[in-house]
Amino acid sequence: MVVAEESEDGAHARLRILDLDPATGNYLGILHEYDEEDGVLGFENAVDPLIIAQRAPVGGYLIVVPVEDEAGTDAAIVMLLTDALGAVVPGGEAEIHLGDLGFRADVDPVSPNTPWGQIWDRLRGAGKRGWLRARRSGH
């Protein structure tokens, strides 16, 4: 389970990946925790992380997290690549800084009809400008 948390005044934010028992749903512990030092700026109201399931037989997930500071002057997209159990894989963290381009309240990201591995390669390898060029060209 991915949980985005922010203090009432927006001064502190964190993102947690929780380990839940698949049979009962009971809480087992925290797999990973990220906070301001890890690039979690905060969250726009009602803009949730996007979780894209891996289609390969090994399983796994790409977690795409839009983050933004309280003033709306700094934003980024944090990406985490996990294994089938939700543990972040080595080298599975990336961040794209968006500067003052933020997110509109109550508008969630939508999973594109592209395999997540291609999304990960484009975002992580090409950076923000490469991803925008790829989207404009329809690839």
What is the model's pTM?
0.67
Q: Nearest-CA neighbor of 12 among 38, 32, 31?
A: 38
pLDDT digits (tens, 9 = 90+) for 79-110: 888 888 888 888 888 888 888 877 766 565 65
Q: How confident is the model at residue 132 (pLDDT cuts 50, 70, 90)?
A: very low
Domain ranges within the chain, ordered by starting residue: 39-137
pLDDT digits (tens, 9 = 90+) for 44-93: 776 777 787 776 666 788 888 888 888 878 888 888 888 888 888 888 88
For 136, residues 6+ apart whose C-beta sits below 8 A from its C-beta are none
Asked if 11 contacts 42 with a C-beta cutoff of 8 angstroms, the reply is no
* Of 107 and 28, the one with more pLDDT: 28
